[in-house]
Structure 1
Amino acid sequence: RQLNDFYYFNFQTETWKLVDLSGMLVPSPRDSHVLLTHGNSIYLFGGCTGNPRSDFYQYKVDEELWCAVQTKNLTNGSADAHQPQNQSAAEIAYQQRTLKAPSSRFCHAGQVMKNRLYIFGGYDGMQRLNDFYYFTLSEQRNPELP
């Protein structure tokens, strides 16, 4: 059973607390997603809800609010494994400029470094992926979840 409950651990008291999300629209229950921190925010990307996901959310800790993250500035760092390896540099550069967001996936890896959130690989339900993306966190726009 997939869950979408949200806990935090207080290191001073060494206790867990369930975050009250009642009345708030939150990401759907899922597993095998990436959850990363940057500043006072927690970011969630992808995962599996029975099907692979490509949704991207920010939890604003200070506001206790989930928001959808618009991803117009995602950048692809390499060609997909299923794409021909003999592409010209111009073809690869064109693909890098025109990609909007990583495809739906779960079991992927992620890391935040120098104001960028990186996503690598994963599984789309049919094949293993070896693509590489980053999202520049300072340029984000994030409306509340619908």
Structure 2
Amino acid sequence: MLAGQAVAEQQCQTKLNIVGWPDGQSFVHGGHQDLTDTDFVGGDLLVKTEQVVSAEASTDMSGNPALTVSVTSDARRRFSEYTAKNLQMPIGVFLNDQLLSAPIVLSPIQGGTMMLTGFLSDEHAQQTEEHLMSAACRGSIGS
């Protein structure tokens, strides 16, 4: 096996996508609506794994496991524009194609750094950080 082949065979073990609510699909904020991954089918892909610049396991204000993520300037711009136009609408945070959380956009998110919640444990958040920061996941940053 050649050195280049070993790198090519490495694959990112973690897939992170942040998806917008599909255009034209109704959503009642404050109503009892259990969102699932299929609710976001057709939504705009706002952030993808390759656009994560940094990730750090942390905790939210209630002490629950979280991951603080910073994204590229292109992803920051797209996310900022989307959240400014879609107040009171959910966004889907997907980890390995499973809906992790579906927060409601309360105000435009412009800084390019966000805290993701919904992790099962501190270890789960830490493992996600390690995978996102691995060479396999960071190979094409800059999109």
The answer to whether TM tops 0.5 is no
Report which of the two has the higher share of strand: 1
Structure number with greater CO (CA < 8 Å, separation at least 6) is 2
Length-normalised TM-score, structure 2? 0.26
Q: Compare the two structures and name the one with the higher helix fraction.
A: 2
**TM-score under structure 1 normalisation?**
0.26
Bigger radius of gyration: 1
